[in-house]
């Protein structure tokens, strides 16, 4: 980082994260839905939909231990399994959350995240762990020193951390004056895209293979129309009916819940400080970079931002 102000801003934010813990990020009041690994996968889907959640920590009640985090990626793996082994479809109704590991193994997917961090550790460490594993959310698991018993305290997401930074560091984020282009923030080559008419299944396969959580939807002139996100598949397989996946992306997006946060875009000339303003005000999950004509240029994920803020060399 060449600019002195920018370097100072980054240093201050890192120092801030070193003296805050997972416990500091929690809102005053929150609920946490933890799912037992004996639960049927199809039932877990309904619970997610009914409670408007997109992930949940898993609990193995046989061993009384935390068993990883259930996310939309796991459902994508189940769909992938169904595509590879159509003859197994009849058994899908009986699969429990504890079968997810076997499903992953069968399709050769990345295992479900079992990493967790202690909420008493500095947030800086939690963030680094998140970036290293490419986890998009991290469960905070505390342990009773005497009994050795574990419990899941909460789950923190990349969004929550960036929002926490944005809200408490306005004086530092204004120092981040370099633009998205200057920082080369995000991905600009080989961006995975789809069209409204693309089959949902193709898009899911793309996301599984490339380990990405969203695909911009463009028209024939490369103009951005929408973004298909991993969580968008949840309403498509509601009730364990997988047939709807044969439909198009356009149809799938119609099933999006009304309160979904929407799509955020930015230009290559936006400063990182301005992006933090957006994070402060809105529930951003990523920014799609477009030009003046709304044509797709690239994508800035929250992990791209977090990696720059935490890991870029400052001296």
Cβ atoms of residues 21 and 121 within 8 Å? yes
Looking at 38-46, 183-191, 244-252, 256-264, which segment touches ligand ADP (CB under 6 A)? 183-191
Q: Which secondary structure element, helix H or strand E, spans residue 265, and what is its range? A: strand 264-266
- Residue 296 tokens, joined: 């797709």
Quick one: 49 or 192, whose CB is closer to ligand ADP? Answer: 192
CA contacts within 13 A on the Cβ side of 183: 31
Q: Is 131 in the site for ligand ADP (CB under 6 A)?
A: no
Q: Which of 100, 156, 302, 309 binds ligand ADP (CB under 6 A)?
A: 302
* Single residue of 12, 114, 118, 187 touching ligand ADP by CB under 6 A: 187
User: Nearest distance from residue 249's CB to ligand ADP, in Å?
Assistant: 13
Residues from 97 through 126 that contact ligand ADP (CB under 6 A): none
What is the helix (H) or strand (E) element at residue 167, kind and residue range? helix 158-168
CB 282 within 8 A of CB 194: no
191 binds ligand ADP (CB under 6 A): yes
Q: Hey, which residues between 192 and 211 contact ligand ADP (CB under 6 A)?
A: 192
The SS3 of residue 95 is coil
* Angstrom distance (rounded) from CA 35 to CA 104: 19
The packing angle between helices 272-281 and 158-168, to 10°, is 100
* Contact criterion met (CB below 8 Å) for 295 and 221: yes
Q: Which stretch binds ligand ADP (CB under 6 A): 9-17, 75-83, 238-246, 298-306?
A: 298-306
Stretch that binds ligand ADP, among 99-107, 121-129, 148-156, 212-220 (CB under 6 A): 212-220
Contacts with ligand ADP by CB under 6 A lie at: 136, 158, 186-187, 191-192, 212-216, 286, 299, 301-304
């Amino acid at each position: 980082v060449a600019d002195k102000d920018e370097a100072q801003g980054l240093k201050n934010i890192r120092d801030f994260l070193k003296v805050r813990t997972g416990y500091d990020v929690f809102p005053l009041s929150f609920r946490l839905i933890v799912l037992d690994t004996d639960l049927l996968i199809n039932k877990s889907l309904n619970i997610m939909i009914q409670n408007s959640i997109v992930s949940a920590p898993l609990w193995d009640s046989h061993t009384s231990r935390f068993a990883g985090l259930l996310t939309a990626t796991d459902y994508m793996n189940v769909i992938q399994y169904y595509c590879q082994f159509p003859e197994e479809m009849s058994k899908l109704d009986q699969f429990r959350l504890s079968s997810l590991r076997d499903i992953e193994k069968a399709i050769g997917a990345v295992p479900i995240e079992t990493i967790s961090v202690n909420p008493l550790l500095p947030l800086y460490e939690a963030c680094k762990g998140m970036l290293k594993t490419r986890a998009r959310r991290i469960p905070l698991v505390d342990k009773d020193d005497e009994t050795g018993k574990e419990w899941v305290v909460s789950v923190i997401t990349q969004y929550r951390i960036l929002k926490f930074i944005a809200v408490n560091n306005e004086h530092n984020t204004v120092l981040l004056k370099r633009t998205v282009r200057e920082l080369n923030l995000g991905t600009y080559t080989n961006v995975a895209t789809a069209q409204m008419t693309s089959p949902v299944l193709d898009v899911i396969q793309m996301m599984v293979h490339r380990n990405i959580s969203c695909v911009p939807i463009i028209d024939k002139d490369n103009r951005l129309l929408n973004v298909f996100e991993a969580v968008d598949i949840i309403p498509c397989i509601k009730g364990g009916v997988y047939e709807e996946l044969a439909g198009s992306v356009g149809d799938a997006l119609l099933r999006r819940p009304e309160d979904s946060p929407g799509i955020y875009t930015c230009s290559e000339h936006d400063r990182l400080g301005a992006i933090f303003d957006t994070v402060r005000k809105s529930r951003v999950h990523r920014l799609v970079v477009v030009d003046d004509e709304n044509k797709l240029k690239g994508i800035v994920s929250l992990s791209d931002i977090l990696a720059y803020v935490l890991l870029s060399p400052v001296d």
